[in-house]
Structure 1
Amino acid sequence: MATLPIEAVLPALKETLGTTENAVLVAAPGAGKTTRVPLALFEEPWLCGKKIVMLEPRRLAARAAAAFMARQLGESVGETVGYRVRMDTRVGPKTRIEVITEGVLTRMLQNDPALEEVGLVIFDEFHERNLHGDLGLALCLQSQALLREELRILVMSATLEAETVAELLGDAPVLSSAGRAFPVQTRFLESRAEGRIEPIVVQTIKQALAEESGDLLVFLPGTREIRRVESQLQAQGVGGQVKIVPLHGALSREAQDAAIAPSTPEVRKVVLATSIAETSLTVEGVRVVIDSGLMRVPRFSPRTGMSRLETVTVSRPSAEQRRGRAGRVAPGVCYRLWTEHEDKRLPMRSTPEILEADLAPLALELAVWGVHDPTELAWLDAPPAAAFAQARELLCQLGALTEDGTLTAHGKRMAEFGLHPRLAHLVLQAVPLQLGSLACELAAVLNERDFLPGQDADLRLRVEALRAGQADRGMIAEANRWKRALGVEAEEKGDLDYCGLLLAFAHPDRIAQRRGNGRFLLRNGRGAMFLDAQPLSFVPYLVAAELDDQGTESRIFLAAHVEESQLREHFQGQIETERIIEWDGGAKAVRARRRERLGSLLLKETTLQDPDADEVLGALLRGIAVEGLDLLPWTKAAKQLQERLTFMHQHDLSWPDVTRTALTDTLAEWLAPHLYGLKNREDLQRLQLVGILESMLSYAQRRELDECAPTHLTVPSGSRIPIDYSDLDAPVLAVRLQEMFGLQETPRIAHGRVPLTLHLLSPAQRPVQVTRDLASFWQNAYFEVKKDLKGRYPKHHWPDDPNLATPTHRAKPRGS
């Protein structure tokens, strides 16, 4: 066994864990901590024969670490050293070291909170700050505090803020080890890369193959970019003595193991990898690293309740980890596909997953643990309150929690199933419907990245491909494992037409109703759409499994059709029936409807028979308030009465205020009693507004109104001339000048307090003078007006003395 730098710190580590429960080990890349520390500690006396459990963030790294340690002992995996990862377990009765992934630790803790068979829990590569890692550490710390004070906890990392972690562990000792790495030459771009990353990656791969020796490890953000780079390399003739190998989490175990295995001397290997190859893994033969500087991370939006994968710039620690892969076995070269200036601006740390991830799995695990409030546990970063509250809301909707947050029996079964709560609920709901087999296939498809990206979004196509053996073998094995766990080996009622229903169990908030043109309304009120037309664009209802949560309308990537009849049968308890009596502004009428809603989705609307009269009245009043008083039949007489009453109110506040504002504000008082039985604008036209307004007056006010604000005034000619009250300060009497002969003083109203404004008209009804002082007009202005009128209307009578003249409504007085 070769000597590694970690060997120097192992005696101090043994002594520390012999005298204290917790410790932090910071070891640089290449130190050997992942494989040497467990082997050095598993026979320590303070373990008392109990196991060491070591967490690795990734399945590939867990299997590789276990295999390496087993080889060091000359054994096979599953003897002294074994591993437990999702869908794959290799442990035996003699196993003392178990390398596990973080979700496995959570299940172990839930089944045995005291971890009675475990003496030491090691958190490796803790700087990655995965959600399950943070949860596992929080649960272990509480278990240690309440149940197992002798339980040891060791946190290890190459790049870690050790002081913060040590404080969380009760001021635990911090030990450090240098790494072992060969020098790595770093090369930057001269100018910033623009556009897609794939072309420059392909160019750099070809350059490195020509200039450098050894295998290449290329870091790309995701499987989509891996496929594009592989395709472009093949199209440009890279092959023959060069083997192009993908490496990502969705590959089968065999494919992953082949990617990290040593290449043969006559063949160079180009490994196209995601961040899966960043830590705790040595890809044999690599001398060159090409780093795109990008990674794909999950982001959860409490605003929408959706998760999405987002491409982000790597942090400085991640960039250094990637660079170090080139110097594991010999001097190497790292091509960074960004400039030196950009390098100085790399973030100093990655955001912990707990701050940005979907917290539904964590909320369910805490409920099983018996914790309602996350602050009861010790965290490096506590779960955000808004995201945690939304997670609990989802769990209530799925039936995992009661309204007060108590775990239900269904919730406990969901947690035991080891799937995301949405998928666990899907599977458990399907079994009584004899759809368990289909549910397991759906869960396997949904639990991994889409293996038919860019194709028709119909989820049924993925299930058909899985059944035909065209999916990844690991996905097929996963579906079969769940079928065995449920006892549904044989396909029961696995009709693909039920895909949408089962998906609705998992995503009840993403049931969607078609709005037209490939656009849909989600149950939660958000919009969603297909970018391109496809068969699902035209179905009345679907359930969206994958959305991008971008903009006002999310793009749908994966979905399945669901029948309205299925929704009615299985979501009947969530369908709300409401009686809506409201004003329809378009129809100018009260509409009474019965509506059935599933969240924001309107399933059915019918006319409500015999609606409550008071509710109709209320809707009609609201409609009049919104539309305005012009909905009412304002005849000439009604308008004049309103103006007369307003005039009286202005001079005496004891009179009712019938201005438009006041009438609108008091509709329920003066108008409502007259509206029963009316529903629309046509009905309103039957109202007698004069009578309604008069009903607001007392008997005395009615008599006084005619005296103080008469509708008409009888002028000297005998004509009854209407008074215009539109100007409340100066009511107008528009009368022909000749009809006023003989009247010496201006007529007054309001008990003589208000003189009328006289609009004296020519025979053609055009104003020739406006005055409130008739006597002055006769004395001063009349003679000038007379000259003009006499010239224009010579046949009319224009006396020299208007005070003595006979008034007339004719051209000349009778007998002239």
Structure 2
Amino acid sequence: MNKLPIEAVLPDLLRVLRSWPNAVLVAPPGAGKTTRIPLALLDDSVSAGGRILMLEPRRLAARSAARFMAAALGEQVGETVGYRVRMDSRVGPATRIEVVTEGVLTRMLQHDPSLEQVSVVIFDEFHERSLHADLGLALCLQSQALLRDDLRILVMSATLDAEPIAALMGDAPIVRSEGRSFPVDTVYLDRRVDGPIEHSAARCVEEALAANANGDLLVFLPGAPEIRRTEHLLRAMQLGSGVRIAPLHGSLPQASQDAAIAASPEGVRKIVLATSIAESSLTVEGVRIVVDSGLMRVPRFSPRTGMTRLETVAVSRASADQRRGRAGRLAPGVCYRLWTAHDDRRLAPSGTPEMLDADLAPLALELAAWGAADPDELAWLDPPPAAAYAQARELLGRLGALGTDGAITAEGRRMADLGLHPRLAHMLLQACALSPELGALACELAALLNERDIFRVGAEADLRRRLEVLRSIAGAKSGEHAEPVGAQVDISVCRRIISQADQWKHALHVPTNMSNDVDKCGLLLAFAYPDRIGQRRSDGRFLLSGGRGAVLPRQQQLSFAPFLVAAELDDTGTESRIYLAAPVEREELERHFERQVQTQRIISWDRTAQAVRGRSQIHLGALLLQEVPLPAPAAEETLTALLDGIAAEGLALLPWNKAALQYRERLRFMHLHDSRWPDVSDEALFASLEDWLGPHAYGMKSRSDLQRLSMVEVLQSALTWEQRRTLDDHAPTHIVVPSGSRIPVDYIEPAAPALHVRLQEMFGLQETPRIAGGKVALTLHLLSPAQRPVQVTRDLASFWRNTYFEVKKDLKGRYPKHYWPEDPLTAAPTNRARPRT
């Protein structure tokens, strides 16, 4: 084997691992850590003849590393060196080095917490900080502390702040390799990209080929759609027969991935269009030119909506440097960055750990299966965010994975054993329990939802259409007649989905033929997404059972479904856009979700009818499945609803005639001067509706019924016998004035009750009339013969002495036929123009 930079530190690393249980290795890309370290440990006392597990974040890297190490030993994969990835395994009885993806390690730990046959666990490319890597390390550290003090744990990374992880691992020693790289020139854009990134990438590739006579190109793009579009643009440029374009992303067939990373034939220049999968672990042979879009696609989970979306973000400084380093592994190279030097200075130092942005339902299920009641029982570099973790456990409870006590259920253990997202695992188990045929359909749905969409361009959201395409391809594979599926279908993805579905069918012992009952898709999706069952609103939009709104991007057949289940949607704006869904029947929901369906008796005030109405409602989450009238609600329930209606609409629902209003005003006056009297303000009456109004409204249910009430009697019932007896004395309705007239007392202002009376009717009265047992003087509004106010006073004696004569002059001029005596205290009062003789 060629000498690689990592070999310079191998003696130090082996010496550390012989003395310490844990270690951290920092080595740049290309140093050789991925393939040299496991082989060096193979015959060292550190491994003690046991197995060596090495975790790789990606399946492609895992397979590639295993093949490289096996070739270095002159063997085939599956002998001394093997790998285990999802849906693919190449190990044998003699295998001692296993390269696994992170979910595989979790499954191994759950079935054998002590990892009995394992001597060393290596976490490669830990700087990527995937959720499963953080979980796997936490579980291994606890296993080491409780069960296996002889277990060795090695964390390796190209770009990692090593001190925090070393501290987490018990102040583990840090070994550093300087690596080896050739100088790389960096070229920036003069101005920011304007328009789709693939157009800028294609132009840059064309220029780079012309400017650099040697070496292959590695182009970093955000995702598969941009790779396909860039490939189309490059092929249209007709770059020549000596140029080969090779896409590289995780959803490609293994043969295509292998071809992309293999060395180019003599005289052929290769353009590898890759996602961030090529940042580390993988060595793409022959690359001396890197074109970096500066973008990557990452999953973002929203606790607000409970949904994960793929988001295109700018790369971090660490990722940008790793991409640039790919150009300098073999010889001096050049890196073209599709951003400006100014923007380069604003890059974040490192990416966000997946733990902080991910859907934590799989993590919560694994911890429950592990027996950890609280995440704090384990050691984390970044602990799970409390809000997202609580939401994850709530979902697991809804799926039946956790009991009311928070512990994992038997159903939850079966879900964890499947190694799928809890939603899909629950769907598979529920479907198999109903029938083998539905179990087969669920396997196909799970495989579909585990991969990207088989349609290359926007299509209808109906998942049944996709199953029909899969059936057509499966039929063609088996030799049966099949309709053509069209150029817009990704055949390679379809075949991978069919293969995955077949493996799950074998594992679950269900029929392997493609299911015909595609109309049950909606029901099965409901098992996986009980919070995304949608009910059609009158405007064609949907209300989801979780309470959020959703809408199909454009009108299609599903737009008219009364109920559907959304398997994929976004969380932007106030309403999510539905991308994948299937219809479901209301009867299926009521039958299969009986435990979640709730029946409610609703007795409430109907503002439109101005009456109490009773309804029986059947709910599934936020959805109203059915509503029927209740013929005769109980009187107590009706009274409560009636009082709620009054509280909502106001006291104006009650029949306040003139007498009742005055009675209430008199009570307000008495309460103001003596708190032992009842408070009849709006606030107090609303607060005690049941006490003062309830007995009188019992048996009533509408506004028309309320009109039969005598509000005077209702208010009177709140008084004691003594208060009733004294009310007329202390707050009289009328006052008899000297003219003999009975003048009503105005209590609208309780602090200043008033008497509106013509001045001439008060002749001969020396003092202001008083009420409340003489405590309160009335406010006199003295009126002209035309009933217009001429004076307001609470001191009648002072008015006679000081003001009357000025007023008299004015009134006598305007009303000369009326009686205006010189001495008002001795004059005869009159309610006429002049006193009777």
TM range (shorter): over 0.9
Q: Does 2:638 correspond to 1:635? A: no
Q: Deviations over 1:218-275 (max 9, x none)?
A: 1111122223323333455556543332211111212212222233344432221111
Classify 1:537/1:239 alpha carbon distance in 2 versus 1 (closer, same or farther; 3 Å): farther
TM-fit CA distance, 1:431: 1.1
After superposition, the C-alpha distances for 1:321-371 in whole angstroms (9 at most, x for unaligned) are 111211223322111122223323322222222232122222222222222
Shift of 1:391: 2.0
Quote the residue 2:24 is aligned against. Answer: 24
Is structure 2 residue 581 aligned with structure 1 residue 578?
no
* Contact 2:50/2:96, CA 8 A, preserved across alignment: yes
Alignment of 1:466-545 (within 5 A): 466-469=470-473, 470=489, 471=491, 472=493, 473-491=495-513, 494-545=516-567
Indicate which of 436, 448, 470 corresponds to 1:445: 448
Question: After the TM superposition, which of the residue ranges 131-140 and 9-18 deviates more from structure 2?
Answer: 9-18
The one-letter code matched in structure 2 to 1:83 is Y
Partners of 2:440 and 2:790 lie apart in 1 by 97
Distance (Å, rounded) in 2 between the aligned partners of 1:135 and 1:345: 31
Specify which of 640, 644, 650 is matched with residue 618 of structure 1. 640
Distance in 1, matches of 2:264 and 2:679, equals 96
Counterpart selection for 1:464 from 453, 462, 468: 468
Q: CA deviation at 1:691?
A: 1.5
- Deviation, 1:515, is 3.1
Q: Deviations over 1:513-571 (max 9, x none)?
A: 23344532222222333343333333222222222222332332222222211111111
Q: Give a deviation string over 1:698-717, Cα, whole Å, max 9, x none.
A: 44433432233322233444
Distance 1:219 1:761, change over 3 A: same
Q: Please tell me the residue identity of whatever aligns with 2:111.
A: N
The answer on whether the counterparts of 1:298 and 1:310 sit within 8 Å (CA) in structure 2 is yes
Shift in CA distance, 285/617, structure 1 to aligned 2, threshold 3 Å = same
Confirm or deny: 8 A CA contact 1:401 1:411 kept in the other structure. yes
Q: In the alignment, what sits opposite 1:328? A: 329
Query: Any unmatched runs of 5+ in structure 1?
Result: none
> Higher mean Cα deviation, 93-102 or 588-597?
588-597
| Matched ranges for 1:273-284 at <5 A | 273-284=274-285
Query: Structure 2: how far apart are the matches of 1:467 and 1:185?
Result: 51
**What's the counterpart of residue 385 of structure 1?**
386
What code does the residue aligned with 1:546 have? Answer: E
Q: In the alignment, is the contact (CA less than 8 A) between 1:28 and 1:179 conserved in 2?
A: yes
Cα distance in 2, alignment partners of residues 125 and 706 from structure 1: 92
DSSP 3-state at the match of 2:339 = coil
Q: Note the 1:56-205 alignment, pairs <5 A.
A: 56-205=56-205
User: Does the C-alpha gap of structure 1 residues 699 and 66 become closer, same or farther in structure 2, counting only changes over 3 Å?
Assistant: closer
Q: Aligned pair 1:50/2:50, yes or no?
A: yes
The range that moved more, 402-411 or 483-492, is: 483-492
Q: Normalising by structure 1, what TM-score?
A: 0.93
Secondary structure at the counterpart of residue 567 of structure 2? strand
Using the TM superposition, name which of 26-35 and 237-246 deviates more. Answer: 237-246
Kindly indicate whether the alpha-carbon contact (under 8 Å) linking 1:282 and 1:328 is maintained by their aligned counterparts in 2: no
Q: Secondary structure at the match of 1:386?
A: helix
1:364 corresponds to: 365
CA distance in 2, matches of 1:725, 1:24: 87
> 1:784-807: CA deviations, max 9, x gaps?
655655555566566666666665
Q: What does the per-residue CA deviation read over 1:158-195, in whole Å, with 9 as the maximum and x for residues that have no partner?
A: 22333333333334333333323332211122233345
Instruction: Measure, in 2, the Cα distance between the counterparts of 1:136 and 1:755.
Output: 86
Partners of 2:85 and 2:100 within 8 A in 1: yes
Change (3 A) 1:763 1:477: same
Q: Measured at CA, do residues 18 and 775 of structure 1 come closer, stay the same or move farther in structure 2, by a change above 3 Å?
A: closer
Secondary structure (helix, strand or coil) at the match of 1:47 reads coil
Residues 780 and 293 (structure 1 numbering): CA distance in 2 closer, same or farther, change over 3 Å?
Answer: closer
Structure 2 CA distance for aligned equivalents of residues 94 and 650 of structure 1: 96
Partner of 2:595, secondary structure, is: helix
- TM-score normalised according to structure 2 size: 0.91
| Contact 1:516–1:538, Cα closer than 8 Å, also in 2 | no
1:777 offset after TM fit, Å?
5.2
Q: Measured at CA, do residues 528 and 791 of structure 1 come closer, stay the same or move farther in structure 2, by a change above 3 Å?
A: same
SS at match of 1:572: coil
- Using the alignment, how far apart are the partners of 1:604 and 1:239 within structure 2? 66
Secondary structure, aligned partner of 1:333: strand
SS at match of 1:478: helix
Q: Is structure 2 residue 582 aligned with structure 1 residue 560?
A: yes
Q: Which residue of 1 aligns with 2:415?
A: 414
1:562-711 pair list within 5 angstroms: 562-585=584-607, 587-711=609-733
5+ residue gaps in structure 2? 474-488
In structure 2, the CA distance between the partners of 1:53 and 1:708, relative to structure 1 (3 Å rule), is: closer
Q: Distance in 1 between matches of 2:673 and 2:299?
A: 72
Question: For 1:272-320, what per-residue CA distance to the aligned partner results, in whole angstroms no more than 9, with x for missing partners?
Answer: 1111111111122222111111211122233332222222222222112
**RMSD between aligned residues:** 2.8
> Secondary structure of 1:193's match?
coil
Q: What is the CA–CA distance in structure 2 between the aligned matches of 1:172 and 1:74, rounded to whole Å?
A: 34
Q: Which residue of 2 aligns with 1:399?
A: 400
Is the CA contact (8 Å cut-off) linking 1:437 and 1:494 kept in structure 2? no
The one-letter amino acid paired with 2:49 is G
- 1:280 and 1:547 map into 2 onto residues whose CA distance is 33
Q: Secondary structure at the match of 2:537?
A: strand
Q: Does 1:7 align with 2:7?
A: yes
**Structure 2 CA distance for aligned equivalents of residues 808 and 658 of structure 1:** 38
Mapped to 1, the partners of 2:557 and 2:35 lie a distance apart of 52
Structure-2 separation of matches of 1:72 and 1:669: 90
* CA distance in 2: counterparts of 1:770 and 1:28, whole angstroms: 96
AA paired with 2:189? L
**Structure 2 SS opposite 1:404:** coil
What is the CA deviation profile of residues 101-152 of structure 1, one whole-angstrom value per residue up to 9, with x for unaligned ones?
1111222222223323333222222222222222222222333333333333
State the secondary structure of the residue aligned to 2:565.
Answer: strand
- Residue 746 of structure 1 and its aligned partner are, at CA, apart by 4.4
Which residue of structure 1 lines up, in the alignment, with residue 486 of structure 2? none
- Name the count of aligned residue pairs: 815
Provide Cα deviations, 1:10-34, integer angstroms capped at 9, x if missing partner. 3444444444443333222222222
Asked whether the 8 Å contact 2:502–2:512 carries over to 1, the reply is no
Q: Which amino acid aligns with 2:325?
A: G
The alignment-based identity, stated in percent, is 67
Separation in structure 2 between the aligned mates of residue 619 and residue 769 of structure 1, nearest angstrom: 50
